[in-house]
Chain A
Amino acid sequence: MPDNYKNNFKSVLVKKIARNSNTYKIGNIGSKIYFRKSSKSFKLWLDFLFYQLKEACKKRKLVVWTNIYTPSELLYALDLMPIYPELISGVLASVGLASYFIETAESKFYTTDLCSFYRIATGLTLKDWFPKPDLIISSSQLCDGSTKFFHNISKYYNCGHYLIDTPYYNNLSSQKYIISQLKEIAHKIAEITGKQLDNKRLNYAFDLSNQTREYIIKISKLRENIPSPLSGWDAMAYILYMFFSSLGTERGWEFYRTLYQEIKEKVDQGIGAIKEERHRILWLHQIRPYYQNEIMQNLRENRAVISFEEVSYVYWSVLDPQRPWESLAQKITSNFGIGPIERRIKTVYDLVKRYKIDGVIHFSQRGCRQSCGGAYIIKDFLQKKGVPMLIMDGDGADYRNYSKGQTRTRIEAFLEMLS
């Protein structure tokens, strides 16, 4: 059979499998067997991941591709089925499948300097295997690659793209601007589905989000404990997936309730994430490398634990279902990653004090301007306060940009400095 026929056949077959809800049903069962010794919370995440993909295939609700800082409560209140390409990219990187999609994107002129998460997500789209979106709702914060990425995807799939444009400053006029955009989105969704926003569903999503938020705050409090009961390495993996995508759902609430119990048990028994904790690290930037790497091992061997990470900080207030648009707008604008760098510095320094941090590591993701741009300014501030900081260049999803020896040397030298 000629090669192009074989490739087409393979492509059609993979698409059929990837767009069949049973694939994810079977995948869920398989993953639970494979990870049978993992924690209950980890298995709840697996359930959530496969559930979302399964439901996206079933098309019982509008499938919406979205990004990590679009408030998920809005999407669940509107009875949509969100899919998070950025998060899926992280999962693909962790199972060693990223390079295939990266190469696909790069072969279609996407630069190697673009954040690897968008290169993977673009490759995924170009392969056209995944449950495709009926529409896209994204916010312009924080990731500067996201707006153009989603714009491209909307052209590819010929679907609507609703962008929540977030201004730089957190003030009344920004709030009003965002509120008007959120209302417009709700109105458009109502036009498409023929159903108005269901207030009961909105109240429920908000209520679940608020209760989940309580658990996240409680977990954050437990993490102040010495030794650290939860490593940021795990907090920035499956837990982060839930943080961005599950607020407003019953599964999200159950996940965090379970996680809280697991962490509380560790604290009650005095169990630390690593043995003989000597250095408490605060990790900056939203992500860490997800492919096979030795960073966790490098840290652990030198008795260092990521006690907390800036991405897990709960920066928003309780959502008020009586004032839904104001609440959601507040959730968006109170993100300390938006606006002047002083906002981020203040939060970072508060976390340093709160978690009794010995040293800060800023993971400078290649192609990420919004996070890396301010890294030296943060370092300058922290150094004046006597807090050492390592700025470590790296890549969260493209292992080709990972240099084992160089990374190890930087981490070890930094930890030797702390000693």
Chain B
Amino acid sequence: MIVAGLDIGSLTIKVVIFEENEIKGFTIIPTGTDVNKLTKDCLEQTLRRTGNNFRDLQAIVATGYGRINVPFANKSITEITCHALGASWINSDTRTVIDIGGQDSKVISVDQDGRVIDFVMNDKCAAGTGRFLEVMAQALGVKTEELGKESLKSKKKISISSMCTVFAESEVISLIAEGYAKEDIIRGLHEAISNRICSMANRLRLENSVTLTGGVAKNMGMVHALKKRLKVKVYVPEEPQIVGALGAAIAARKIVYSG
């Protein structure tokens, strides 16, 4: 039984091919203007990697903000449900999932079967998400993937007061001009995001253990800031960015099993 899960996000498209009960292969590509074509390309790339054909797939589920217009998906399911399913499959002890994606952040309470009990999402603006960190990385002249490593060098605490991405960028540029060290600024940014995420998380019953998902979970500085603030056990999967697509694939498997 082979199925596919597609997570069409604001910054990247992720595809997971799932066979019986394991991840057979996955691909992550940046998104673009022709989302449908890119999704198909991403799926085909993954199928080539796993040595399968499109016809082999018994079900396909799409998630993410671009989930609605995927003509070859059997069903579309929200990323809340998919992240819950994916995180629970990886770590069956998880009871809280924190996903920080490209433009979205969410905190999800799950039960032992990976079902969503409650959730909270960021309100309207993308402050404290992947997009926020991308903009800051550019302002700092650092690659996004190096933000984590840089922040862990920090020796001094700085408080970043703006949460709006645009105003925070201005604040960062001012701090650079005033001679503050890059690693201290980045750490300040991580702590600001972490505070915001924790306020969201406190609206739910934050329970052990917490799984971090989404691209931002690859940022070890962000993970460190969250662990410090949350004061609960935090688990980061090997590939946190594909958890949504994985959950979609698990949902696709359920469709096959239920006939």
Contact = CB atoms under 8 A, between A and B. Distances in A.
A409 B78 contact: yes
Interface string A366-397: 00000000001000000100001000010000
Given A405-B65, A409-B65, A412-B78, A388 B124 contact: no
Contacts of A388: 118
Given A409-B65, A409-B80, A413-B80, A383 B121 contact: no
Contacts of B68: 408
9 contacts: A393-B123, A393-B124, A405-B65, A406-B121, A409-B78, A409-B121, A416-B77, A416-B80, A417-B81
Interface string B79-90: 111000000000
A127 interface: no
Given A408-B68, A409-B80, A409-B121, 8 more contacts: A393-B124, A409-B78, A412-B78, A413-B78, A413-B80, A413-B116, A417-B117, A417-B119
Q: For B78, B115, B116, B118, which residue has the most chain A Cβ atoms within 10 angstroms?
A: B78
Interface of B: 65, 68, 77-81, 115-119, 121, 123-124, 203
Interface string A402-419: 010110111011001100
Contact-size category for A:
10 to 19
Contacts of B203: 376
Contact of B79 (A383, A393, A401, A409): A409
Nearest to B121: A410
B206 to A, nearest CB: 14
B142 to A, nearest CB: 29
A408 B78 CA distance: 9
Nearest to A412: B78
A417 B119 CA distance: 9
B119 A413 contact: yes
Contacts of A405: 65
Contact of A417 (B65, B116, B123): B116
Contacts of B121: 406, 409-410
A416 B116 contact: yes
A399 B202 CA distance: 30
B123 A383 contact: no
B166 to A, nearest CB: 17
Nearest to A411: B78
Contacts of A376: 203
A377 to B, nearest CB: 12
Interface string A297-311: 000000000000000
Contacts of A406: 121, 124
A231 to B, nearest CB: 23
A39 B163 CA distance: 49
A116 to B, nearest CB: 15
A380 to B, nearest CB: 10
A389 B119 CA distance: 10
A163 B134 CA distance: 53
A403 B116 CA distance: 23
Interface in A137-191: none
A405 B65 CA distance: 7
Contacts of B81: 413, 416-417
Nearest to B120: A391
B238 to A, nearest CB: 26
Contacts of B118: 383, 388, 417
Nearest to B66: A405
Contacts of A412: 77-78
A410 B80 CA distance: 9
A403 B65 contact: no
B106 to A, nearest CB: 9
A270 B80 CA distance: 35
B70 to A, nearest CB: 15
A409 B119 CA distance: 11
A383 to B, nearest CB: 7
B214 to A, nearest CB: 14
Interface string A311-326: 0000000000000000
Nearest to B64: A409
A329 B118 CA distance: 41
A230 B75 CA distance: 29
Nearest to A408: B68
Contacts of A413: 78-81, 116, 119
Interface string A345-377: 000000000000000000000000000000010
A295 to B, nearest CB: 15
Contacts of B119: 413, 417
A395 to B, nearest CB: 10
Contacts of B79: 409, 413
Contacts of B65: 405, 409
Nearest to A417: B116
B120 to A, nearest CB: 8
A393 B65 CA distance: 18
A388 B115 CA distance: 13
Contact of B78 (A383, A401, A403, A416): A416
A165 to B, nearest CB: 34
A259 B121 CA distance: 39
Nearest to B108: A413
A162 to B, nearest CB: 38
Nearest to A376: B203
Given A376-B203, A383-B118, A416-B116, A403 B80 contact: no
A376 B121 CA distance: 14
A403 B77 contact: no
B11 to A, nearest CB: 15
A229 to B, nearest CB: 29
A401 B79 CA distance: 22
Nearest to B63: A409
A293 to B, nearest CB: 15
